[in-house]
Each structure stands twice: as C-alpha cells, then as structure tokens.
Amino acid sequence: MCRVTPDEMLAAFHEQIRLRDRDAEATNVAERDGLVHRNYPVDPHTPGAMVESPEGLGEDPDVAIARQRDFFAARGQRVEWKTYSYDEPADLGERLAAAGFVAEELEALILGDAEAVAVDVDLPAGLSVRAIRDDRDLERIADLHDLVWPGTRWITMRFGEEMRARPDLVQGCLVEESGDGPVLCASWLRLVEGSGFGGLWGGATHPDWRGRGLYRATVAHRARLALAAGYPLLRVDASPHSRPILERAGLHQVATTTPYIYDPAPTPA
C-alpha cells in the first residue's frame, strides 16, 4: 500500500520540482521573468529551452505570455511551454495558442511510491535487463529511439552526456537478447538532487516486442536503483501507451501535462 497519498505526492512534486526549477538541465541558463520560470541553452541552436508558470501569470497573462514569445523570437530559439492541468489561469492553453504556441500530445503526470514498483518482473526467455555501460550501448539505444521516435537520436546522446557527468544521478538500463543484436527496450533514471523524486524518462520498446513486459521490467529496475540511492518517489510524464502499464504497476495519475511549442524559425517555402 502506498504510504503517501496521490494529493500529497502532487504537492511534494509542485514544491520540490516545479517551484525550485529542478527540471532545468544543469548547463542551461535558469532565470525568472516575473512569475514565469524559464531555462534555456546559451546556444539558441541547441534544443532544450523550457518555460513554465507554476505560480500562475498574475493579472495580465497575455502580456506575460507575449514577453516569453518575444524573448525567444529575438533569440531565434524554439521553446516549449510546459503546462499542467492545474495551472492558472484555467484557460492557459487557449491563451498560449492565441499567442502562436502549438499544442503537442497530452501526457499524464504519474507519481508513485518506488517501493511498490520495485518487484520482480518475468521477461520472455532469453532476455535480460542490465545497466547501460558504454558508447556502444548508447549507439544501439539511439537506433531504437530513432525507430520509435524518428529524429530523436540527440535525446539519447544528451542522456549519455548527463550519465557521464553525473553517474550518481543519471543512470540507464536496457533489455536485450544479445549484445550483438538490437536493444529491445531502453530507459533512463534521473534522480532529482535535493528532492525525494527519481524521474523515469525515455522509455522506448521495439515495436515487435511490445506487450511482453519489457518496459515494466525497466520500471522495476529503475525503482530499485532509486530506492537504493535514497529516493522514495517516482515521477513519469507518461504517454497514452505507457500510462496503463504504470498504473497497473501501482503508480498514480495526478494530473495531465501538455507541451506548447513556439518555433520562430521560418517555415521552408
């Protein structure tokens, strides 16, 4: 049984992660513009600029939104405004769309007790789950990610850089049949220093192996790693495909999150 209620977990997530900008990458510039929290790579051509507003947008939300749009337009930098279903104002998404931001796929914010998830999971015969060890593993994972989400090799490499820089905080695991064959499932654990949360990221399963427990095995593996490091809570931004798997494992949907993208780059003719 979960020792912390979903409402308590959401309150902890809001306080420990959102209000303290702990989703910002360590190398990004992190700053406040009024009530807006934003972080972005110094190089405007590097992906990863983010905005959110966990404290609301004050008396004139449209002005605050326009300020962020214009800031990133001047930099020529693509930015994601990450919204949550409980954010104020209640019509934030509509206001972002009116300002030129484009909504992407809605995801579920899933939180839970790592101890409830860290159970043994049976894999199909011949498969095993293990830690990501080297650049060869990263290349194989990038192949998988590019198959599942074309054009996302850079995400794999970014996680690899984080893992090398802070192996105490960022770890990954993969499922394989053979070290010479393809990676069948891969995912990452990012421990959020100064909080109680471990984030589960990047979960991808080969299309031919879905529905056979591979992703669930990586969730359990990462939950054990989080517990061993002293992080009792898990956080996932879950797709519609992974949400039911996570809920069956004992995690809880506490909100939804929708990214809104503003890209000032001109559309090719």
Domain carrying residue 219: 112-254
* Residues 125 and 235 grouped into a single domain: yes
CATH code: domain of residue 83? 3.40.630
Q: What is the pLDDT of residues 234-256, one digit of tens each?
A: 999 998 888 999 999 999 999 99
* Residues 118 and 104 grouped into a single domain: no
What's the farthest any 2 CA atoms get from each other in the chain?
A: 59
Output the average pLDDT for the chain.
Answer: 94
269: in domain = no
Rounded-to-10 torsion of CA 60, 63, 69, 70: -160
Q: What is the pLDDT of residues 24-33, one digit of tens each?
A: 988 899 999 9
Q: Read off the pLDDT of each residue in 72-92 and give the average, rounded to a whole number.
A: 97
* Residues 136 and 196 grouped into a single domain: yes
Report the range of poorest mean pLDDT among 31-35, 44-48, 51-55, 124-128: 44-48
The model's pTM: 0.89
267: in domain = no
* Residues 144 and 224 grouped into a single domain: yes
Best CA proximity match to 112, nearest among 253, 217, 269:
253
37: in domain = yes
Q: What is the pLDDT of residues 129-156, one digit of tens each?
A: 999 999 999 999 999 999 999 988 888 9
268: in domain = no
pLDDT recorded at residue 265: 80
Report the range of poorest mean pLDDT among 2-6, 52-56, 102-106, 161-165: 2-6
* Backbone angles phi and psi of 59, in degrees to 5: -80, -20
